[in-house]
Structure 1
Amino acid sequence: MESELSFSAADLAQTRFAVSPMWEVVTSFRLLKDPTEPPLHRRWAAQVRPRLLRAGLDRGWLAALVPGGGYLADFLNPTPAGPFPALADELAAIRRSTPEQVHADLATLVRKSGPSPRYRLLHEEPEAALEKVAAEIETYWELALAPYWPRVRQLLEADVFHRARQVAEHGSAHVLNELHASVRWEAGILHVVRRQCRLTRDQTGAGLLLVPSAFAWPRVLTRSVPPEPPQLAYPARGIGALWEPRSPGPAADAVAAVLGRSRAQLLAELDVPASTTQLARSCGLSVAGVSQHLTALRNAGLVTGHRNGRSVLYARTAVADALLTPQPAP
């Protein structure tokens, strides 16, 4: 099946890019529901799946609203107000979803996936149920995405900046033709093939919102809720290298001269998010010593902490990644 989205000059003028935390929530959650090992995200999934099972998120609200394939609830992906919205902004928009929007989405979910007690609660008490949905999304974010967000966001922002430069150099048609193998621009019409649902201009608002995603691969996903602009989530450039280990190499020695060898070692170990106990074991330090160093690194904006049950996972920030990246000679 092929969808055709026609464009006027006004639609092209209103076409823009955005990095959306909620698109990463729904696409990553769907990826984890797939029983097959995700080849590009195996390293990430191996760390995250056990946390989600312990938290019971495999059978919660997200599991009901994001089936393993096909349609997912449109209210989970509100239109971002700007190019880089925070998760809190998108959760606030989800909480503001109208009962009419929720009921329409539930009707589609029931038709495709069958009834569910959670659907019934959402239908009868949408405001209270949306609070529960938002709370579960926050939990999922803290366990599955927050520790990795600096790395993921860097990838998505790089894609946006690259394509914005391509628009300036080659025009919008060139960029739209390069988004994905299933997307083609021709004579003022955007063709999207192999879509389960048709997407036409009379079903959408004006313009187009293009959303790079780290977890959408190998497909594109769309959202169409008039009068909002249609959204198209596509695989970001460079996904294949997203989870490759980032060895600090000689840069760690320079950082150690400033921060001290133990703190530089901890930063190097945090290529993968880890708890205080795990870091103490891998670095040969006491738990108390690791805790003191992590407090100092956190105060300096070099690591972040994320609750994982009774423990806390620590992750490097983008600032720390930059410090550990070898710089070219002037």
Structure 2
Amino acid sequence: MIIRFSPADLKLVSLARKPDPMWEIALSLHVLHKSGGSPDFGGWRGFAKEVVKADARVRDCALQLGRLCPEAEYFPDFLTPVTATHSLRHGIQAVSATPRELMSTQFSRTSGPRGRLRADLCDGDEQARRYLAGALMTYYNALIRPIATEVVACAEADWAIRRQAFQTDGLAGFFRTFPAEQLRWQPPFLHVRAPECELDLGGRGLTFVPSYFCWGQPAALVEPADRPVLVYPLVPGVRAPIPAEPKGDALAGLLGRARARLLTALDVPRSSARLAERAGLAPSSVSEHLAILRAAGLVRSERSGRSVHHALTEAGASLLGAQDPLGERPGSGLAATPR
């Protein structure tokens, strides 16, 4: 890939401090469904496969998402929307709002099995859109959230190295932190080891985003975007291996796994039936767990006609955000000004 920078683009480069949760979902799917890659992924892959084996809902989500997001030179850009840099919830909302025509166009460029879900999404089926949103959240909560603290810590170590180089020698210093075979700066062109294409930024700038699960070569949005994004692997040596048995989700340790699943499923207010479906729990047990969460001041419930809708309280939202440093909101980065 060759990226052309104008003088205006050089003033519009920004360096994100944390990974983007939507990119981590997509790239971790590639790690999960292949056997190669860095040995650093061995522990996480073992952990993930145990979870997938034990939980039919997670297994189905991983399978369906893997079909939509194959490991190839191209996978649909709408699965990693630029607006995902706000939070996991905003990213999933952006995916759900993707126009049917854009989904169809991008899916037509992918290889691999088509599957019923892909066909239904291309047909504009609303149930398929709801399933996709739920699958993304379920996959993240089961396989990414338990290691979010470790992922962010590795990204912070990468950030410290890149930031020092940037502050010392501007963008040229930042670019030199990458192996030459991954990225090479020859003003006004940035040569990137990525699928062959040319990208003229045209005054839109470029955002660099680190990724724990990116391996071998950077990844980029191929379709035109208001704010192009280049996702890159961490500096060699800072990606700490995830053990086969991660420390786990502290929220589950605090509240119990079922109540933690309910809390994380309340990314938006939901009825009892929708909440049970999203959390993968029996409706009878949901009522009992919600009563405990209400008593703890973490959830509020309101009746609307025949339905009861539930939402996080401020305390519940704060607790949920504190337990997930990756999915809630990436940290602030640097606006890059060239030397």
Settle same-fold status: TM greater than 0.5: yes
Deviation digits for residues 58-82 of structure 1, max 9, x if unmatched?
A: 7643122111332111101111465
Letter in 2 for 1:229: R
201 and 72 in structure 1: CA distance in 2 versus 1, 3 angstrom threshold: same
37 and 241 in structure 1: CA distance in 2 versus 1, 3 angstrom threshold: closer
Structure 2 equivalent of residue 45 of structure 1? 45
Structure 2 equivalent of residue 177 of structure 1? 176
Structure 2 equivalent of residue 208 of structure 1? 206
Partners of 2:78 and 2:103 within 8 A in 1: yes
**219, 222, 227: which one aligns with 1:221:** 219
**60, 68, 71: which one aligns with 1:57:** 60
Partner Cα separation in structure 1 for residue 84 and residue 239 of structure 2? 29
Residue 17 in structure 1 maps to residue 11 in structure 2: no
Partner Cα separation in structure 1 for residue 176 and residue 71 of structure 2? 28
Partner Cα separation in structure 2 for residue 141 and residue 211 of structure 1? 19
Partners of 2:217 and 2:233 within 8 A in 1: yes
Partners of 1:102 and 1:126 within 8 A in 2: no
42 and 114 in structure 1: CA distance in 2 versus 1, 3 angstrom threshold: closer
Structure 2 equivalent of residue 164 of structure 1? 163
Partner Cα separation in structure 2 for residue 163 and residue 117 of structure 1? 43
Structure 1 equivalent of residue 97 of structure 2? 96
Report the CA distance between 1:211 and its aligned residue: 1.2
Instruction: Give the SS at the match of 1:171.
Output: helix
Structure 2 equivalent of residue 79 of structure 1? 82
Partners of 1:212 and 1:236 within 8 A in 2: yes
242 and 214 in structure 1: CA distance in 2 versus 1, 3 angstrom threshold: same
Partner Cα separation in structure 2 for residue 86 and residue 62 of structure 1? 19
Partner Cα separation in structure 1 for residue 280 and residue 126 of structure 2? 27
Deviation digits for residues 185-222 of structure 1, max 9, x if unmatched?
A: 112110113x33413217x7721121111111122111
140 and 58 in structure 1: CA distance in 2 versus 1, 3 angstrom threshold: closer
Residue 125 in structure 1 maps to residue 124 in structure 2: yes
220 and 126 in structure 1: CA distance in 2 versus 1, 3 angstrom threshold: farther
Partner Cα separation in structure 1 for residue 280 and residue 39 of structure 2? 28
Deviation digits for residues 69-110 of structure 1, max 9, x if unmatched?
A: 32111101111465xx3211211121222223212211112x
Report the CA distance between 1:124 and its aligned residue: 0.6
Report the CA distance between 1:129 and its aligned residue: 2.5
Instruction: Give the SS at the match of 2:108.
Output: helix
Instruction: Give the SS at the match of 1:210.
Output: strand
Report the CA distance between 1:139 and its aligned residue: 0.7
List structure 1 segments (4+ residues) > 6 angstroms apart after TM superposition: 307-310
Report the CA distance between 1:33 and its aligned residue: 0.4
Partner Cα separation in structure 1 for residue 167 and residue 126 of structure 2? 43
Structure 2 equivalent of residue 142 of structure 1? 141
**228, 233, 236: which one aligns with 1:235:** 233
Q: Any stretches of 5+ residues in structure 1 without a counterpart?
A: 246-269, 277-290, 311-315, 320-330
TM-score (norm 2): 0.66
Report the CA distance between 1:115 and its aligned residue: 3.6
Q: How many residues align?
A: 260
Partner Cα separation in structure 1 for residue 228 and residue 250 of structure 2? 41
Structure 1 equivalent of residue 187 of structure 2? 187
Partner Cα separation in structure 1 for residue 324 and residue 237 of structure 2? 17
Report the CA distance between 1:37 and its aligned residue: 7.2
Partner Cα separation in structure 2 for residue 61 and residue 136 of structure 1? 8
Partner Cα separation in structure 1 for residue 199 and residue 10 of structure 2? 15
Structure 2 equivalent of residue 67 of structure 1? 70
Partner Cα separation in structure 1 for residue 4 and residue 24 of structure 2? 27
Q: Any stretches of 5+ residues in structure 2 without a counterpart?
A: 263-278, 282-321, 326-339
Report the CA distance between 1:159 and its aligned residue: 2.7
Partner Cα separation in structure 1 for residue 153 and residue 238 of structure 2? 14
Structure 2 equivalent of residue 272 of structure 1? 247
